[in-house]
Amino acid sequence: MHQQLLRMLIELAVDKGLNDINTDLKRAVRNLTDLGDYFAKGSFQKDFFKIARQMLSNEDSPYYELVSEVVNNVDPYIIKNFGINIGLNSWTNGANQIRNIEKEKGFNVPWVIVFDLENKAENSLSKTEILDIIQQGKEIGIYSYMFFIGNDDEYMDELLDIVKQNSECAFIIYSYPELLTKDNTSKLREYGNAIVSVYMDPFNAQPEFEHAIKILLDNKCLFGSYFNYNDDNANVILDDSWVRYIEELHCMFAFLIKSKNCNNENSEKISAHIKEAKTNQKYPVFLIDFYEDIMHIDRNISTESCFIKILQDGTIVFSEETLTTEYNIRNNCILEILSLLAKSNIY
């Protein structure tokens, strides 16, 4: 009952804050940040809102423009529901549960599980199996899930039902443009607990990318883009033009994902570029260094990082460099696999 009441109070406060933004954007954003700090329980949440206040102390911060973009173009239900699911259910209550499990069991637990379903396997995980994995995750405090589904419309249909059945979770869907139809995006708007990142080809003009973005915008979804960087396209990321391009399309964030064929020099350059862009608030688009930012959040929640990716056939991957392992979610539950990883000194 306490958690239900807390969520209700936060929802009411967020509703008021979103309404106040129409009157005084900067003041309302700062009030929402103070509200978040008030409800924050752990050190990670406190640090997050402290950094947010520091950034927003700059009256010319482009993040005010970003907030305006979100408020004007995204359904308030998504802003509120996804925000509370990730902020309260995942990063607060879920994080506390994760820390208790780690203390009791003596091994690390990730705050998010990544499903990489882009290349369909002969014996791919079924929707029932994925639902069971998510249920296992929730029982140990994991309320955030990321899905890479490529251009397989079967996965999109199944994923929409998974999102619907787990209304208390926060989902990030990485999709190719072709899958983002009016019907799919209207369902995402209705469910309110998922955001979408659309695959972008940094080298080629993409009318289908722009078409997908328009559908998301028309359906008032919270969305951004993603692309994989490597030694061939690293220089593209260091150029401002691609950011300006997605900014014009009203993308609100961008995930930059390191590929296996990216050497350390390029990887370090890009990570530094992303960090500098966020620190100096260069764009009204929020840039996310996929692996590094996932691990950063995990280190703040659990002191030590822990990363889990599940492939199409159930194989467990525990870092961006790992191609395959002996561990499979079909053979052991999540807790057993985390224990086995700890015993093998992977974590």
Q: What is the dihedral of CA 328, 331, 334, 339, to 10 degrees?
A: -90
CB 167 within 8 A of CB 191: yes
Q: Is 84:17 a contact under the CB 8 Å cutoff?
A: no
Of 7, 14, 5, the closest CA to residue 34 belongs to: 14
Q: Please give the radius of gyration of the chain, using alpha carbons only, rounded to the nearest integer.
A: 19
CA dihedral 76, 82, 88, 89 (to 10 degrees): 140
pLDDT at residue 311 tops 70: yes
Q: What sign does the CA torsion over 21, 22, 26, 28 have?
A: negative
d(CA 343, CA 40): 34
May I ask the CATH class of domain 107-343?
alpha beta
> pLDDT band for position 71 (50/70/90)?
confident
Burial bucket for residue 302 (CB in 10 Å: 0-12, 13-18, 19+)? buried
Mean pLDDT, the chain, integer: 87
Query: CA nearest 168: which of 194, 130, 148?
Result: 194
DSSP string, 318-331: -STT----S-BTTT
Region 220-235: mean pLDDT is 92
Q: 292-310, pLDDT tens digit by residue? A: 999 999 998 987 889 999 9
Instruction: Return all residues near 307 (Cβ < 8 A) that are at least 6 apart.
Output: 110, 114, 291, 294, 295, 298, 318, 319
Cα-based distances in Å from 73 to 189, 243, 249, 325, 338: 12, 19, 12, 42, 40
What are the E-state strand segments in the chain? Answer: 112-116, 144-150, 170-175, 194-199, 223-229, 253-258, 286-289, 308-311, 316-317
Residues 85 and 163 sit within 8 Å (Cβ to Cβ): no
Cβ contacts of 65 within 8 Å, gap of 6 or more: 284
Could you report the per-residue pLDDT of 90-131, keeping only the tens digit for each? 998 999 999 999 999 999 999 999 999 987 778 899 999 999
% of the chain residues with pLDDT over 70: 82
Domain ranges of the chain: 107-343
Residue type, position 204, single letter: N
The span from the CA of 270 to the CA of 233, in Å, is 11
Cα atoms in the Cβ-side hemisphere of radius 13 Å centred on 1: 0
Mean pLDDT on 54-78? 81
pLDDT in tens, 232-275: 888 888 888 889 899 999 999 999 999 888 999 999 999 999 99
Supply 331's token pair.
């053979």
**pTM of the complete model beyond 0.85:** yes
